[in-house]
């Protein structure tokens, strides 16, 4: 099944996309069942991106997901949230003048992996090749090619080997590059 019939994008019966006209899709994207994307502003999804089941993208601000990125199961990408520390209270049922809303764009770079059940908060930039461990809450920018648990860097990815593998990928015929859903 391909619910939305977007060229080069696989969606399923229980995929839910609101604001389809605000999304710029690349090629070879998989958006699993039970994913919710609510696009009030521009969202750009690069090539060869997988957004896994039970993930959501909400908040109403801009988002860019780079090429070859993965948003793992259960992730929450929030481009806006309420801050209840100071004066804000309530929720979307009351006027914004009573709420302390933080709203800012998010950028997830090429080759990034956001681990299962992680939350990415407004204004964050996840640098090229960075990986985020499962159950992390990302509140600040992450440097390229780092391996992170939450906001703490715990290692470095092998950029040279990843890009070497990418060059081999580029030298492979297109029909052999893609997963079985696209064949």
Segment 78-94, tens digit of pLDDT: 999 998 888 888 888 98
**Residue 107 falls inside a structural domain:** yes
CATH code for position 32: 2.160.10.10
3-class secondary structure per residue, 106-140: EEECCCCEECCCCEECCCCEECCCCEECCCCEECC
**Residue 3 falls inside a structural domain:** no
Domain count, the chain: 1
Give the model confidence (pLDDT) of 131-157 as tens digits.
999 999 999 999 999 999 999 999 999
**Residue 114 falls inside a structural domain:** yes
Instruction: Report the pLDDT value the prediction gives residue 85, as an integer from 0 to 100.
Output: 82
**Residue 4 falls inside a structural domain:** no
Instruction: Report the pLDDT value the prediction gives residue 163, as an integer from 0 to 100.
Output: 94
Q: Quick check: 74 pLDDT over 90?
A: yes
**Residue 121 falls inside a structural domain:** yes
Burial 19-31 (b: 16+ CB within 10 A, else e): eeebbebbebbbb
Instruction: Report the pLDDT value the prediction gives residue 101, as an integer from 0 to 100.
Output: 93
* Distance between CA atoms of residues 137 and 121, nearest Å: 8
What percent of the chain clears pLDDT 70, i.e. is strictly above it?
Answer: 99
* Distance between CA atoms of residues 20 and 40, nearest Å: 9
Owning domain of residue 119 = 9-182
Instruction: Report the pLDDT value the prediction gives residue 181, as an integer from 0 to 100.
Output: 82
User: Is residue 36 within 8 Å of residue 23, measured between CB atoms?
Assistant: no
Instruction: Report the pLDDT value the prediction gives residue 125, as an integer from 0 to 100.
Output: 98
Q: Quick check: 96 pLDDT over 90?
A: no
pTM: 0.94
Smallest CA-to-CA distance from 29 within 5, 11, 3, 4 is with 11
Q: Quick check: 17 pLDDT over 90?
A: yes
**Residue 164 falls inside a structural domain:** yes
Cα Rg of the chain (Å, integer): 17
**Residue 1 falls inside a structural domain:** no
DSSP at 180: G
**Residue 38 falls inside a structural domain:** yes
């Amino acid at each position: 099944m391909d619910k939305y019939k977007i060229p080069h994008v696989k969606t399923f019966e229980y995929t839910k996309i609101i604001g389809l006209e605000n999304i710029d899709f690349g090629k070879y994207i998989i958006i699993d069942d039970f994913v919710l994307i609510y696009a009030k502003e521009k969202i750009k999804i690069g090539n060869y991106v997988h957004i896994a089941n039970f993930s959501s993208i909400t908040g109403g601000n801009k988002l860019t997901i780079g090429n070859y990125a993965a948003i793992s199961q259960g992730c929450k990408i929030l481009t806006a949230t309420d801050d209840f520390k100071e004066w804000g209270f309530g929720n979307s049922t009351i006027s914004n003048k009573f709420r302390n809303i933080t709203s800012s764009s998010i950028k997830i770079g090429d080759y990034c992996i956001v681990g299962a059940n992680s939350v990415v908060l407004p204004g964050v930039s996840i640098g090229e090749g960075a990986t985020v461990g499962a159950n992390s809450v990302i509140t600040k920018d992450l440097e390229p090619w780092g391996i992170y648990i939450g906001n703490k860097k715990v290692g470095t990815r092998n950029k040279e080997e990843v890009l070497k593998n990418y060059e081999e990928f580029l030298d492979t015929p297109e029909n052999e590059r893609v997963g079985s859903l696209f064949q």
